[in-house]
Amino acid sequence: MAYSQILFEADEHGIALITVNRPEKLNALSGSLVAELRDAFERVAGESAIRAAIVTGAGDKAFVAGADIKELAALSAIEARQYALRGQQAFRLLETLGKPSVAAVNGYALGGGLELAMACTVRFASENARLGQPEVKLGIIPGYGGTQRLPRLVGRGRALELLLSGEAVTAAEAHRIGLVNAVVPQAELLGHSRSWLHKVMANAPLALGLVLESVDVGLDIGLEAGMRFEAAAFGISAATEDRREGTRAFLEKRSPAFAGK
């Protein structure tokens, strides 16, 4: 797919930088833009040379400031449901890549923008960022997973406070309640994101994927079943060449050279 609303670039370390590129619209999500994001996430999932992803917005004002309201206003009930399902599917793909992802929140992350950020593995925010789910102010509710992911990240009470008021919070408040993992100066945001991913990518790739899957599955199926899934995943990790290399390197007091096998 040729991209007209996002930028996609993969570096020599295997980090894909996906930039929502509609700065004149504060990077608002349209249906066609979401389709481009889905294609980009499929590339990240399918290309073995890509081991991680950063999602950010163009410019210095917005990560993604929400949905394209003009487009939303024209939808029928059936069309709106399909619109929501397509966005949910795209963001779920990002969430289940099996590879770590960072939302580099460089400004407003509202509505669908916050939902996009919450689908990433972690969120780092610039000091000027503001985050929220303002949908109730428009007479609608979040449709790309906001009512589901927000309680999982910050707890039921905090989530309902944000969802029912529709008010945005500062980056500092988002960090305090656990919605973002760190707050850094805007000029350092991408560097901080890459630095964190480099530390993560020094670890065994298969183990990283199994950790991501175990957490995701466990949140859905409950503690007891989740523990059983973890034990099975632990067994799989123990059978890999990376486990043999990792334990050998530890005993030999050297850095491991993981092969992803």
Active site residues: 115, 135
CA distances from 179 to 64, 74, 93, 174 (A): 16, 32, 20, 5
> Which among 113, 32, 23 is positioned nearest to 67, based on CA atoms?
113
Question: CB–CB of 67/111 below 8 Å?
Answer: yes
- Determine which helix (DSSP H) or strand (DSSP E) holds 196, and give its type and residue range: helix 189-201
Q: Which of 162, 169, 154, 152 is closest to 108 using CA atoms?
A: 169
Contacts of 174 (CB under 8 A, 6+ apart): 125, 129, 131, 180, 183
Find, among 94, 1, 91, 86, the residue nearest to 39 by Cα. Answer: 1
Which residues are within 8 A (CB) of 117 and not within 5 positions of it... i.e. 6 or more apart? 55, 63, 64, 103, 105, 109, 123, 131
